[in-house]
Structure 1
Amino acid sequence: MEPYEPLIGEHRVYIVDDDDSFRASLARLLSTAGMSPVACRSVGDYLLVEHPDCPSCIVLDMLMPGPSGLELLASLAHQKDAPPVIFVTAFNDVPATVQAMKAGAMDSLTKPLDMERLLQSLQDAIARDARNRTARRELEQLQSRYSELTPCERDIYIGVVHGKLNKQMALKLGICERSIKSHRSNVMRKMRVSSVAGLVKTAKLLDVLSGTRDTQAFSQ
């Protein structure tokens, strides 16, 4: 195996497996590879262990006493911030592997593990979780900015992203064009964008372009 370049930045790799020797051995190998493993004997241990706010992933045994890996994966599917999962199993169980992949597992490996493939999968999983976390933070910030808009500013925001002219919005809202320009400037400032294209991008991320009450005034 070629030398592995350690991951940069805080992260966690949760090893959830009831096989004591496998769990300890994998934790040592991952530590040597520059990763930060957290060994858990069961699904319950994983749920109880501390989960710091950093990119992470789970190396999860498919079959364990008590809640199984598949049951944990099914539970994680309902969490928007769940980390990526890499399944491992001592059996070449094709139906279970297919079920795991359909349920959202990022990869599925058979013991004994191909360490080069595992390390690459872990690197990809951590990178994916980091991207997802960044995207969630950006969306939360956009939602916070949008919530600061007044009702009138929201109407103008929707009007602008639907391509309406100032005079059209003035007529629709019953206010003068000068007020529209002032509110429009406030919208751009509060949403922290400098162009209509930037405003449209925020609307797409916020999913307010269609199908919501806020769009009714200007969607036609």
Structure 2
Amino acid sequence: MSAEPIVYVVDDDLEMREALLDLFMVTKKRASGFASGTEFIELADTKAPGCVVVDLRMPGGSGLDLQSQLISMGSRLPVIFLTAYADVPTSVKAMKAGASDFITKPFANQELLKAVEHAIQLDSERRKADEELDKIRLLADTLTPREKEVMHAVVSGLMNKQVAFELGISEMTVKLHRMSVMRKMQCRSLAALVRCVEQLQRVAGEPPRIQAA
């Protein structure tokens, strides 16, 4: 069972930090507060599911600095920025770096809660996609080099006869390898196998070894 998502609140303003924590607790959300980005990095579990609500301007390190640190650490926690200044260039920079939202103070509680729900959903979807990709990688690692060649050839659109010609093996051998690939990759259809290979290629940049004519 996956852990309950947590909303991390990072704000040097104690009054604001406590108000946000109260808001999340009242709405049945697990939340934890930190007075600075440094404190958050040192004490928080940045691999846990959830999101970060951070004040853009803080002494000793801005919200953007925290976002950069998370990225460099490999954390994909969605970040929601809060700011008292309608700073368009900064907001654009934050969004380009992957910020989930950028909210200007004063804001309605519902606006922030909606942004948090979206961020948590985004984080959940990313984690599910990562889990699926990890599973596909493990399955692909069970394939022999020849099976991988057949798999890439098949998903590129070649018929068994064409694969046999390109690889210099018999059509029967291709069929046997193809059956083994489908079984090991746990795919019930060619379309499912194509989706698996596409996911592997998007991450690794690995092109099909054989292209259909």
TM-score, shorter chain, exceeding 0.5: yes
Q: 1:207 aligns with which of 197, 201, 204?
A: 201
Partners of 1:100 and 1:170 lie apart in 2 by: 51
Of 148-157 and 85-94, more deviation after overlay is shown by 85-94
Asked if residue 216 in structure 1 is aligned to residue 209 in structure 2, the reply is yes
Which secondary structure state, in structure 1, belongs to the residue aligned with residue 157 of structure 2? coil
Which secondary structure state, in structure 2, belongs to the residue aligned with residue 207 of structure 1? helix
Partners of 2:208 and 2:87 lie apart in 1 by: 50
Alignment of 1:66-105 (within 5 A): 66-78=60-72, 81-105=75-99
Paired residues of 1:58 and 1:84 also in contact (CA < 8 A): yes
Match of 1:179 in 2: 173
Superposed displacement of residue 156, structure 1: 0.4
Aligned length: 211
Partners of 1:217 and 1:27 lie apart in 2 by: 55
Partners of 2:52 and 2:21 lie apart in 1 by: 12
Asked if residue 139 in structure 1 is aligned to residue 106 in structure 2, the reply is no
Name the Cα RMSD after superposition: 2.3
Alignment of 1:143-162 (within 5 A): 143-162=137-156
Q: Structure 1 residue runs of 4+, over 6 Å off? A: none
Percent pairwise identity: 39
Superposed displacement of residue 104, structure 1: 2.2
Q: TM-score, normalised by structure 1?
A: 0.86
Q: 1:35 aligns with which of 29, 35, 44?
A: 29
Q: Deviations over 1:3-51 (max 9, x none)?
A: xxxxxx7101010111111111210111011111110111111112242
Partners of 1:171 and 1:36 lie apart in 2 by: 59
Name the aligned partner's letter for residue 196 of structure 1: L
Distance 1:211 1:26, change over 3 A: closer
Superposed displacement of residue 136, structure 1: 0.8
Partners of 2:130 and 2:205 lie apart in 1 by: 22
Name the aligned partner's letter for residue 209 of structure 2: Q
Superposed displacement of residue 219, structure 1: 5.3
Match of 2:187 in 1: 193
Match of 1:124 in 2: 118
Superposed displacement of residue 126, structure 1: 0.3
Distance 1:166 1:97, change over 3 A: closer
Paired residues of 1:81 and 1:133 also in contact (CA < 8 A): no
Q: Deviations over 1:181-213 (max 9, x none)?
A: 1111110011110111111111111117x974x
Name the aligned partner's letter for residue 203 of structure 1: V
Q: 1:12 aligns with which of 6, 9, 12?
A: 6
Match of 1:5 in 2: none
In structure 1, runs of 5+ residues without a counterpart are 1-8
Partners of 2:73 and 2:157 lie apart in 1 by: 36
In structure 2, runs of 5+ residues without a counterpart are none
Superposed displacement of residue 95, structure 1: 3.2
Q: TM-score, normalised by structure 2?
A: 0.89
Paired residues of 1:43 and 1:67 also in contact (CA < 8 A): yes
Which secondary structure state, in structure 2, belongs to the residue aligned with residue 215 of structure 1? coil
Asked if residue 113 in structure 1 is aligned to residue 83 in structure 2, the reply is no
